[in-house]
């Protein structure tokens, strides 16, 4: 890993960085990986991958079944400051109303050979900018290796962006107006729990009309297309976990 951290700066193309990274991942026996930018509102998720290799059919299944809305690893990513293991996240959401869907997603991933893995967040001045995901057969990493892989994730992420001349646009992309009032955050979190306007109105002791007014404000701030899109964007941007 230390060799990669040194050699990555000497690479002259993005392809060379990917080659060096894949050599490292083969050494650790990771079958699949992805280096992914954090999405901004209305951005096509398929254009977020800087590089990666996944089981055939898994990306299509993940998108078709809208797993991004309940993926515990993505939800946990919003609050993580360092790398973590996939299977640790289910425990963190043991009382979540979407727990059963999360477990079904994990079972589905097993069919594609994604038995276990890790995610390492990459942060910038404006918050979460992306992540490096590693997966396949179970691999046990020591605390020191976890720390070094955090450094590898950051180096690979930024080096790929530098070589593709995309670093400036990435920082600009994160400057979205996500300043929420206390009431908007309450509504947003209840919406993420699957509640309807009626449910939220009863809990907050306000009218359905007022709930919808808050929702419209949140939707405008996130530039979301609908309520489902609001929840997806809020998870991706780390506003809710």
Residues 6+ apart with CB under 8 A from 18: 51, 160
| CA-based nearest residue to 175, from 104, 127, 137, 133 | 127
The domain made up of 182-236 has a fold known as Arc Repressor Mutant, subunit A (1.10.10)
Which secondary-structure segment (H or E) carries 215? helix 208-222
C-alpha span between 113 and 90 (Å, rounded): 18
What is residue 145's predicted lDDT score, i.e. its pLDDT? 96
Answer yes or no: are the C-beta atoms of 55 and 32 closer than 8 Å.
Answer: yes
Segments making up each domain of the chain, as ranges: 2-173, 182-236
Domain 2-173 has CATH 3.90.1150.10: no
Domains 2-173 and 182-236 share a fold: no
- Residue 121 sits at φ, ψ, to 5 deg, of -75, 150
Each residue's pLDDT tens digit, 4-48: 999 999 999 999 999 999 999 999 999 999 999 876 544 555 578
What is residue 44's predicted lDDT score, i.e. its pLDDT? 54
- Mean pLDDT value across residues 199-223: 90
How much helix, strand and coil, in percent to the nearest 5, is found in the chain? 55, 15, 30
Answer yes or no: are the C-beta atoms of 77 and 121 closer than 8 Å.
Answer: yes
What is residue 241's predicted lDDT score, i.e. its pLDDT? 60
Answer yes or no: are the C-beta atoms of 153 and 120 closer than 8 Å.
Answer: yes
pTM above 0.85, yes or no: no
Position 139 pLDDT exceeds 80:
yes
Each residue's pLDDT tens digit, 86-119: 988 888 888 888 888 999 999 999 999 999 999 9
Residues 6+ apart with CB under 8 A from 108: 61, 65, 67
Answer yes or no: are the C-beta atoms of 179 and 217 closer than 8 Å.
Answer: no
């Amino acid at each position: 890993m230390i060799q990669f951290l040194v050699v990555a700066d000497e690479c002259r193309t993005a392809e060379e960085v990917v080659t060096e990274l894949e050599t490292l991942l083969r050494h650790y026996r990771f079958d699949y990986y992805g280096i992914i930018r954090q999405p901004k509102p209305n951005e096509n998720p398929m254009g977020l991958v800087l590089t990666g290799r996944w089981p055939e059919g898994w990306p299509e299944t993940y998108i078709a079944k809208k797993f991004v809305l309940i993926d515990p690893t993505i939800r946990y990513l919003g609050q993580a400051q360092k790398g973590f293991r996939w299977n640790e996240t289910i425990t963190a959401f043991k009382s979540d109303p979407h727990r059963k869907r999360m477990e079904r997603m994990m079972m589905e991933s097993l069919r594609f050979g994604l038995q276990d893995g890790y995610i390492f967040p990459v942060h910038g001045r404006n918050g979460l900018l992306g992540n490096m995901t590693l997966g396949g057969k179970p691999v046990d990493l020591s605390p020191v290796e976890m720390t070094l892989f955090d450094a590898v994730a950051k180096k690979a992420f930024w080096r790929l962006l530098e070589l593709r001349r995309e670093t400036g646009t990435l920082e600009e992309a994160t400057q979205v107006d996500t300043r929420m009032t206390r009431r908007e955050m309450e509504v947003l979190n209840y919406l993420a729990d699957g509640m309807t306007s009626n449910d939220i109105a009863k809990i907050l002791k306000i009218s359905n009309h007022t709930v919808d007014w808050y929702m419209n404000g949140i939707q405008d701030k996130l530039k979301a297309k609908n309520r489902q899109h609001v929840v997806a964007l809020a998870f991706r941007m780390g506003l809710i976990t």
